[in-house]
Each structure stands twice: as structure tokens, then as C-alpha cells.
Structure 1
Amino acid sequence: MTTPTVSVIIPTLNAEGEIGPLIQKLISQTLAPSEILVVDSSSDDRTAEEVDKAASSDGGACVRLLKIERSDFNHGGTRRMAADRTCGEFILLLTQDAVPLDEAFIEHLVSPFSDERIAISTGRQVPKSDAVRYEQLVREFNYPRESYVRSSADLERCGIKTYFTSDVCCAYRRSAYEELGGFPESCNTSEDMHLAIRAIARGWSIAYAADAAVLHSHNLTPPQQFRRNLEVGYFLETQKDLLGGISETGEGMRLVRSVASQLLSEGRAGQLISFFIDCSARLLGNRRGRLIAKKEMERA
């Protein structure tokens, strides 16, 4: 069996302290990438110099830097452009702050592709040591320790969770990616879900590889959570037809009940209050995003 070729794509912005160590971790993998493409949005720091330094001693992987204007960055379009500039059998998307937990990360992430039905394989996000308790529990809810595969047969049981993927650490079978038309050109969030929805509709399956783990979490403030979920709400409203009427509400309530129950059992009253504030920011942002989308569609 031939060794699979993997192209890694990492969008960056002011990643001076992160990108060098991340590239070194990737190069030292048991399944090393055949190429690493860093797409930098005109960073103000030494991100470009750190990438150049890694490229000069890349240990076999072809490390390249592509600079774009910050104003030109778009979650879907930029990743699409980057994917078109790579050639590996599998396209691996990472964010600059997602740190592989071990040297078998890539091997574990592409392992599900031995099943020819798998189009997408997404990894597990383990919260960082500085994550607040409710953020740890949210990650544990969304990223369990058990792997699974989902297809259209799971839509009734799993709902929107059937499409669960994240470009924080996610791999795509290039042949499936191209068959599906790639990432949307203009999409400022959830480009991963957009592709996952189309994959499921075309008969492909999506794998969650729990052994392919990265350290990744954020302690977002309520305003940050509001803005993030405004984008998500906008996406969900504009893609209602693509989603076929599937709602995220049920899954969201299961998450809230799970996290709140655990915080209560641990006696963390302060964290419970913070969690409900966080949830309120998510809900308000989602509703605001949906309202903006509805008004835009009415005017169109």
C-alpha cells in the first residue's frame, strides 16, 4: 500500500509565536506532510520570517508561504484558493493555534480514509490548560473520546450533528472535495459545514477521528461570542434550503443541559453563571445574524 500524500494548509495572522513550533511538529509526524502551505494575511509581526526559517530546514516537507491582503481573507474563499495550490491526495486544514498532541496526529486523521465512502475526517479538540471550566466541558461534549462515522442514515437520529466538522483540524479526500465543488468562494464562517452538508447529500460519509487530537480552545468574552454566533446565525439562515429544515436548537439544548448539570454537580456556581452569560451571548448573536440574513433576502 502506497503512503498517502497530505497537503497541509494553515491560514495565519500574527502567528509569530505559534507557526514555527507548529511546522516543526508537523514535519516530525509519523506520516509527514508532502507540503505545508501557510497563507498569511499580511501579519504585522515576524510570521513570514518564522515560516521562511522553517522552510530552510523543513526536513523533507515543502514549506511555502503565500501572502494575501488582510482585507482579502475569507474563510471559504481563502481556503479554496489555497487548496487549488496544493496537490496532495488529502487536504489537511489547521488553524495556527491548533497544536497536535502527538506525532501520530496526521496518521490518525487520515486513517478513516481507508473506507472509500469517507469524504471528510475531523479531529478532536482538547481544551488547553488555561481554558475555563465551562469551556472544557463544552469541548468535551462536542469532541468525545470515541470515534464515529456518520452518513445520511444518521440525519433523523443526529440532526445537525451529522454534519459536525471543524477546519481547526480537518482532512478532506481531494477527489471528493473536487467532486463537491470545493469550499464556497464567499463564506465568512462554517465553510466546513457547507462542504459537509453537500458531502452527506451526495452519499459520502464523515468521520470523527478521536485519536487525532489537537490542543485548541478559547476563553471568549460575551461580545466575542456574540460576534462569532452572529456569523453562524447568518450562515444557518442563508443555508436553510441546503440544511433541509434541520435545526440546531435541539443539539444546543443538549449541550446546555450537559454542561450545566456537570457544573452543578461540581458546585461551581460562578462558572454556571458565566456559562449562562456565554449561552445568552451565543443565542442573541445567532438571532441577530438570522434577522440580518432574513432582511437581506427580503430585499434581494
Structure 2
Amino acid sequence: MVGLRADSVRFSVDNQLAPGSARDGDQQLSPKFSLIAGPWAKTEFFFNAGRGFHSNDARGATAAVDPAPGLAASRGMEIGARTEWLPGLQSSLALWKLDFDSELVYIGDAGNTEAARPSKRHGVEWNNRWAPNKWLLLDADLAWSHARFKGDDPAGNRIPNAVDKVASVAVSVKDIAGWSGSLQWRYLGSGALVEDNSVRSYSSATTNLRVSRKLWRDAELTLDVFNLFDREVYDIQYYYESQPAGLPAREDRHVHPAEPRTLRLTLKIGF
């Protein structure tokens, strides 16, 4: 399978702090290619490659000095296999690679992102979905990645906030005398917070629970319990210099705590 995607973006910025406005634009063609071979013994092999992008902040793309590209190109590929050879089990394993012409990095002092150096990533993903019977389902998704800026820099080449390991494991039951439920465990590994890897984020693990009851044909009551074990973890972590009022400036972690144990009750009625 082959494909071609065309993208065009236009920026218009009116500066309220200084007279004048700026306009700019960017375009990109992104070819795509997929090759799938099989199946043999309920197993197929695949290769995907293509070009993509991420857009940059309009203020950076229209800057008078050293403007960022409107669309920062990326090139990626993956090779892997999918199988249903074992009854009830769907499993896939993929090796992937991704290169960006420019990485987006969060600047805490300014409160926005800016275009940084080119980057490269590679990793492996393993996804599994097992249904041993019609009412039980188990999911397990595991991923590992290696992210670096290209080139050598005395300050280091780690990409801030790029975590190394991610995992999700869930068990679900469905339609047992009108009851359904699921329990999901999610893990986000540690990652560098600064380029030289001298400060790293804390890993986090949270568990979510869902229980639902079918009241009648078109009505269902659901209870969600987020952060079931009330873990004190962080959703977001950054490291930069700041200066609270009346205190000296210092470099430190800036975090957004995950919400404590939270309950949500939902009634869904169809008509």
C-alpha cells in the first residue's frame, strides 16, 4: 500500500506588546508505504515507512530572528509481526525508528515550547490481547524507547521528558449476570529532565477500576475509581529555574500532581 499526504499551514500573529504583525506559512508532502506479507499459520509480517511532521508555535515560526520551521519534518519506519497462532491470543511485536528535523522542548521560564535540535529515537513495542473465553479479556502493552538529540553537545544529548519505559496491563470481565468490570495498571518509567541526565523524573504507577451494571436494555450505571490506591505520583514533571516572590532564584522540579483517589458515577440511557 502506498499513499501521499499534502499539508499546508498559514500563520498570522498580531503582537499586542509592540506594533506590527507577522505572517508566514509552510508546506510538506508526506509519502507513506506499507508492505504486509501473509498470513502463514495465522501470522503476518509488516513493514511501514513514511514521512510526517509536527507543527511549531506560530510565534516562533514568524519570529524576525532565527524563525523556527512551520512544519518540522520527521521520517519513521517499523518492522514487525502480528500473530493469532495461539487460540484467543492476538500479539504483535514491532521494532521502530523515528527521526525529527527539530525537537520541541518546553521552556519553563517562558511557559511555552521552542524548536530545538534534530532528534532520533528507536525502540520496541509488544502488544498482547488474550480472550480465553467470551467474558474474560486480558491486555498487556509494553514499550521501550531510546531518545537522543543528534550530534555531540557539551551540555548533553538527552531529550527532556522522553521516558524510557511504558507499560499497561488490564483485566476485564464482561456480561456476568449483567455485571462488567475492568482493572488497569499503568506504568510510566523515569526519563531525563535535563540534557546531561543529571536530573531524572520519578517513575509512576497508577491503577484504575471500573465496575458497571446493566439496569435494563438501554441503561447502564458505571462507577470509575481513578488512582485506586491513592498513589502520590506526578502527571507532569519539569526542571528549570524559577523565582517565587520574595525568594532567590533556583533550579528545581516543577510538577503537576496526579489527582488523588477519585470516584465518578455515570448513568447512561439510550433512547
How does the TM-score come out when normalised to structure 1?
0.23
- Structure with greater proportional strand content: 2
- Structure with greater proportional helix content: 1
Greater RCO structure (CA 8 Å; 6+ sep): 1
How does the TM-score come out when normalised to structure 2?
0.25
